[in-house]
């Protein structure tokens, strides 16, 4: 099996991902030490989804979620493992955040995703 550098391997995986309309995936090398990413991250997986704006449901906004990715982890995983252990958790976190934006009981958030850095 030919070993691809982590960035190319991850890029190859996301090129074969399909998910909901209005979702996109991009990979960036992680070179900025001031970005706030953990030291172990060598790459940035950027997931973007276009969703209705909570404050203006007729309006759409792009929600971007940068995900720190370890090149070592990408190197160690097969493509299906990358989907299972990197892509799925990242999508799940975004979907959960959006659910928490919209889910209210008696007019109040059940979980406010922005309160005290909840998510």
> 42-57, pLDDT tens digit by residue?
888 999 999 888 888 8
Q: How many CB atoms lie within 10 A of CB 28?
A: 13
β strands within 54-107, DSSP E? 56-69, 104-105
64-97 per-position pLDDT tens digit = 998 989 889 999 999 999 999 999 999 999 999 9
What pTM value is reported for the model?
A: 0.80
70's enclosing H/E stretch is none
Q: How distant, in Å, are the alpha carbons of 22, 45, 47, 59, 118 from that of 16?
A: 16, 14, 14, 30, 32
| Alpha carbon distance 22, 55 (integer Å) | 19
């Amino acid at each position: 099996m030919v070993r691809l550098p982590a960035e190319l391997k991850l890029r190859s995986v996301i090129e074969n991902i399909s998910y909901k309309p209005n979702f996109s995936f991009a990979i960036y090398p992680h070179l900025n030490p001031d970005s706030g990413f953990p030291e172990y991250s060598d790459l940035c997986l950027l997931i973007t989804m276009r969703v209705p704006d909570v404050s203006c449901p007729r309006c759409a906004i792009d929600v971007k979620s940068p995900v720190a990715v370890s090149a070592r982890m990408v190197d160690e995983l097969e493509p299906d493992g990358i989907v299972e252990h990197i892509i799925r958790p990242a999508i799940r976190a975004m979907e959960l955040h959006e659910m928490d934006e919209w889910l209210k009981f008696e007019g109040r958030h059940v979980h406010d995703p922005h309160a005290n850095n909840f998510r």
